[in-house]
A = this chain, B = another copy of it.
Amino acid sequence: MPEDSAGLTWKLIEQARERIADKVSVTPVLTSATLDAQAGAHLYFKCENFQKCGAFKARGATNAVFALSEQAALRGVATHSSGNHAAALARAARLRGISAYIVMPDNSAQAKRAAVSRYGGEITYCAPTLAARESTARQVMAATGAALVHPYDDLLVMAGQATAAVELLEQVPDLDVILCTVGGGGLLSGTAVAARTVKPAVRVIGIEPAGADDAARSFRAGQILPSVNPDTIADGLRSSLGVRPFAEIRRLVEDIATVPDEAIVRAMRVLWEVLKVVVEPSGAVPYAALLAPGLALRGRRIGLVLSGGNLDLDRLPWSAPATH
């Protein structure tokens, strides 16, 4: 286990990259002349929706699971998660041949529950509050001896998520800016440390749903202000910022901007229609920031992390429920 006091180091990211190299995908970067023309900028979409389990979360969970000692691994791993981290942890545990105990809010999307089950994760449902998630997870861990793999407040998880930005900058070395979602902060903190180590001049900007703007408020206040009753369609981004991610975000992120749900849905639809990719609402959040005025990024070379693609196709935000 790394020393927490050093925060997220480049060494942890390099180790993560090597550890997960044959267990996750190198995801492609897509571009679109149509979207470039609309944005007046050069856009590079890093397709983590094509990642194993359909989200970047496979990177961090795999790194954490394979960093465990033989002895610790024997008792399995546990987490509480609204979805993508849960499936990613279940998959990583199965790859290592150990148990995964997953605490999920009982309002989690059906597609996300099914993914956890498909990978053999053992689900315990709880009320959809952070308190219920944490107390249920403590009970599960007490009963099993499983090691907690927190969805974001964990340096090994953050180091894993960071590998997406390392790849992106290898694929598109001359980026000016990276736009990245922020929920608990695992992806944003990893992206910031990785990108600004590889290329100190690159700007990293967090994008958050206006209905779950705790990271933006925390960033301005200089201290963590928890997410209270988050209300956004971006179900992956309702968590409160973690302590370890926040330490890196404060240091290395330029700003955190917010986008309304209406823009998120519009962005999602444009990405499906023009880029031909299935992204979940959370995954469309960085692009949503380019649909509204605010960010002065004309002419820039912008990397956008499409964080995931897991959602119920019967409940698309622009269509009525299915009739069959």
Interface string of A262-289 (1 = CB under 8 A from B): 0000000100111111110000000000
A44 within 8 Å of B (CB atoms): no
A139 within 8 Å of B (CB atoms): no
The segment from A180-188, A294-302, A313-321 found at the interface with B is A313-321
A239 within 8 Å of B (CB atoms): no
Taking CB atoms and an 8 Å cut-off, the chain A residues in 4-58 that contact chain B are 25, 28, 30-31, 33-34, 47, 49-50, 52, 54
Residues of B within 8 A of A318 (CB): 313-314, 322, 324
A323 within 8 Å of B (CB atoms): yes
A111 within 8 Å of B (CB atoms): yes
Contact B309 A319 (CB under 8 A): no
Residues of B within 8 A of A111 (CB): 273
Residues of B within 8 A of A96 (CB): none
Interface string of A90-114 (1 = CB under 8 A from B): 0000000000000000000001000
A118 within 8 Å of B (CB atoms): yes
Chain B nearest CB, measured from A239 CB (Å)? 22
Question: Which of B28, B49, B309, B319 makes the CB contact (< 8 A) with A322?
Answer: B319
Contact-residue bracket for chain A: 20 to 34
Question: Which of B50, B273, B275, B322 makes the CB contact (< 8 A) with A313?
Answer: B273
A242 to B25, CA, bound (A): 40
For A52, give the chain B residue with the smallest CB separation. Answer: B33
Copies in the complex: 2
A272 to B295, CA, bound (A): 31
A319 to B316, CA, bound (A): 9
Assess A276 versus B320: contact at CB under 8 Å? Given A269-B313, A313-B269: no
Residues of B within 8 A of A272 (CB): 278, 313
For A118, give the chain B residue with the smallest CB separation. Answer: B34
A314 to B34, CA, bound (A): 21
A49 to B276, CA, bound (A): 7
A118 to B52, CA, bound (A): 35
For A278, give the chain B residue with the smallest CB separation. Answer: B276
Residues of B within 8 A of A279 (CB): 276
Residues of B within 8 A of A316 (CB): 313, 316, 319
Ordered by A's residue number, 21 sampled pairs between the chains whose C-beta atoms are within 8 Å are A25-B31, A28-B30, A33-B52, A47-B276, A49-B276, A54-B276, A269-B313, A272-B313, A273-B278, A276-B278, A277-B277, A278-B278, A313-B316, A313-B319, A314-B318, A314-B319, A316-B316, A316-B319, A319-B320, A319-B322, A319-B323
Closest 7 CB pairs of A and B: A276-B309, A28-B28, A276-B278, A320-B320, A49-B276, A320-B323, A319-B322
